[in-house]
Structure 1
Amino acid sequence: MRVAFAGTPVFAQVALERLHAAGFALPLVLTQPDRPAGRGMKLQPSPVKAFAQAHGIPVAQPRSLRLDGKFPEDAEAARAALLEAAPDVLVVAAYGLILPQWVLDLPRLGCLNIHASLLPRWRGAAPIHRAIEAGDAETGVTIMQMDAGLDTGDMLLRERVAISPQDSTATLHDRLAVLGGRMVVEALELGACGGLKPVPQPTEGVTYAHKIEKGEAAIDWTLPADVIERRIRAFDPFPGATAQAAGETIKVWRANALPGRASVEPGTVVAVDARGIGVACGGQTRLEITELQRPGGKRLPAADFLRGFPLEPGQRFDR
């Protein structure tokens, strides 16, 4: 089976590695154009491109796949590359570009998407973040036959994963990436012998995982402590939850909702000790912050952070 691949970040790289290790012919990889990154803001290849180049797999990096869009020359070049690659199937994982109908129709077996949720819950761009933020007890991976809708295609394989109270987007992402890589290999092997049974998605239970915006990072202390704690985990590693203290923007990486009530204004420091920094939140709830980071500094446990940035009960975190 000839498998073309479209993906960009580490989540997709893991799947590409599994496909390569499984011995599938990989005639072409599509990935996003190089982006500036690092202190020097030099152009850097995506993780998918880096892996493909290291293993001699041809790469195309169109800015768009729409033949009538802003970059028709890119789309035409991508179409020529796909036609030459003659894939039986296109596997898609966190690619970042919308696939127009001509792409969906080109491979003999269509396009399969590795989606990091239990569809139809959390269709869209940020399913891992939103599952943690919402307090879901579980999530998973769905291998889906792509159609023209937003994550609306038939489900081919679906596997559940529990979300622990300590999971951040970073830790859950890594588990789901490994699972997705294993499942897409299984789907292709089943598909080769006609063993896949498409199942339409239920019409009930549809939710949308909207893209994470940097503006969401600022902690709203008027929210209950358990909601803030979930957002802190959901926004790790990006964009990182932030709070203003003494004129600095502090990143908050870990925290716990505490029992008991706080009868002061939300955002007020109510306790400081080696375990963490207690802060009043909405509904008279309390949050204990246990890991923080100053601008340009490292993530530090609260006890170490307080040695260089002392806080006292009665001080305020501003939004």
Structure 2
Amino acid sequence: MRVVFWGTPEFAVESLKALLSSRHKVVGVVTQPDRPKGRGKKVQPPPVKVIAEKYNIPVFQPEKIKGNEEFLKSLRELDPDIFVVVAYGKILPEEIINLPRYKTINVHASLLPEYRGAAPIHRAIMEGKEKTGVCIMEIVRELDAGDVYQCVEVPITDEDDIVSLHDKLAKAGAELLVDTLDKIERGDIRKIPQDDEKATYAPPIKKEEGKINWERSAREIFNQVRALKVWPKTFSNFRDTQIKILECEIYDEVSKGQPGEIVEILKDKGFVVQAGKGKILVKKVQFPNSKPISASDAVKGYHITKGEKLF
């Protein structure tokens, strides 16, 4: 099939690469405009654009989609059989969704109708799910509510964080996408409507969600830290400043001190903080205007002692 691919971040790269290695033909790529990034605010292309240009695929980066007749004309000229959307970053108007012969499908990183919305991977980790997955669905006007073609489950282990689970889901989604396109072309697949009554939502992550509440259980804090590892990172007040907690693990389920209290110093491992239920072993931290360091180095360098509190 002739495919126009819509995607922007790293998550979409795996799907684009899989399509390029398949029997289907990617005739165009639509991605977000180049944006300033990093401390130097240097303008950089989206990861999907980098791959598309490497394979000499026409790239479109419209600032505005709705009502953009010139862009719509360009899409029609590509004569697409189907549009594939993977984390593009904007909602598509119906005139675009319905343009190709097989309309528009989306690779969504959850087991729909669970976790519709912008942050399904983060929310699945934060809420302690033992599994998540990827679904290929047809895009409709309502958010992530279209009929589903296929889904695949992906387990979430205690060793997973936002980075590892993101990569697992990107790979699983890419494989499922190609299989789904093959079946659509053969007429060997049917769509299944979602049960709207079972729908849950995954709203975008807000910066303030990184604040650790030590009254919560060790398990909840552990999930929060690994879900928000990339952004906004979890943080807590300590002494007269704010520190980031970058890595931790559940130490035990026993209550020994007050929530937020450092109850133990472990040589070469870090420091143990009492939670509302159980304890957290803090393994990696970052102080303001400093690089990330191991918690054991922080104990030595900042003279952290038993009895101090995070709040």
TM superposition score normalised by structure 2: 0.95
TM-superposition CA deviations, 1:76-133 (whole Å, max 9, x none)? 3321221111210000001110011001110110111000000001000000000001
Which among 260, 272, 281 is matched to residue 267 of structure 1?
A: 260
Matched with 2:35 is 35
TM-superposition CA deviations, 1:51-100 (whole Å, max 9, x none)? 11121111111223222xxxxxxx33321221111210000001110011
Q: Give the Cα separation in 1 of the matches to 2:49 and 2:118.
A: 21
In the alignment, structure 1 residue 86 sits paired with structure 2 residue 75: no
Indicate the SS of the match to 1:144: strand
Q: Which runs of 5+ in 2 are unaligned?
A: none
Aligned residues of 2:29 and 2:60 also touching (Cα < 8 A): yes
Indicate the SS of the match to 1:28: strand
Matched with 1:190 is 183
Comparing 160-169 with 300-309, greater Cα deviation is found at 300-309
- Give the CA deviation at 1:296: 4.7
Matched with 1:76 is 69
Indicate the SS of the match to 1:122: coil
In the alignment, structure 1 residue 134 sits paired with structure 2 residue 127: yes
Matched with 1:169 is 162
Aligned residues of 1:277 and 1:289 also touching (Cα < 8 A): yes
- Give the CA deviation at 1:48: 0.5
Q: Give the Cα separation in 1 of the matches to 2:289 and 2:149.
A: 45
TM-superposition CA deviations, 1:207-259 (whole Å, max 9, x none)? 10010111111112222221111111111212211122233432212222322
Change in Cα spacing, 1:303 to 1:263, as seen in structure 2 (3 Å) is closer
Q: Give the Cα separation in 1 of the matches to 2:23 and 2:10.
A: 20
Matched with 1:143 is 136
Matched with 1:72 is none
TM-superposition CA deviations, 1:5-32 (whole Å, max 9, x none)? 1011000011111111114221211111
Matched with 1:304 is 297
Q: Give the Cα separation in 1 of the matches to 2:164 and 2:299.
A: 26
Alignment of 1:91-106 (within 5 A): 91-106=84-99
Q: Give the Cα separation in 2 of the matches to 1:250 and 1:161.
A: 33
Letter paired with 1:181 = A
Letter paired with 1:96 = G
- Give the CA deviation at 1:204: 3.6
Matched with 1:5 is 5
- Give the CA deviation at 1:139: 0.4
Indicate the SS of the match to 1:277: strand
Indicate the SS of the match to 2:198: coil
Matched with 1:64 is 64
Over the aligned positions, Cα root-mean-square deviation in angstroms equals 1.5
Q: Give the Cα separation in 1 of the matches to 2:132 and 2:182.
A: 24
Identity of aligned residues (%): 39
- Give the CA deviation at 1:280: 2.0
Q: Give the Cα separation in 2 of the matches to 1:56 and 1:241.
A: 41
Indicate the SS of the match to 1:124: coil
Indicate the SS of the match to 2:297: helix
Letter paired with 1:212 = I
Aligned residues of 1:64 and 1:97 also touching (Cα < 8 A): no
Letter paired with 1:21 = S
Q: Give the Cα separation in 2 of the matches to 1:57 and 1:247.
A: 53
TM superposition score normalised by structure 1: 0.92
Q: Give the Cα separation in 2 of the matches to 1:22 and 1:177.
A: 16
In the alignment, structure 1 residue 160 sits paired with structure 2 residue 153: yes
Aligned residues of 1:262 and 1:281 also touching (Cα < 8 A): no
Change in Cα spacing, 1:247 to 1:61, as seen in structure 2 (3 Å) is farther
Comparing 131-140 with 218-227, greater Cα deviation is found at 218-227
Comparing 58-67 with 206-215, greater Cα deviation is found at 58-67
- Give the CA deviation at 1:298: 4.0
Give the length in aligned residue pairs.
Answer: 309
Alignment of 1:38-49 (within 5 A): 38-49=38-49
Indicate the SS of the match to 2:178: helix
Change in Cα spacing, 1:14 to 1:295, as seen in structure 2 (3 Å) is farther
Alignment of 1:50-61 (within 5 A): 50-61=50-61
Comparing 118-127 with 81-90, greater Cα deviation is found at 81-90
Q: Give the Cα separation in 1 of the matches to 2:281 and 2:215.
A: 15
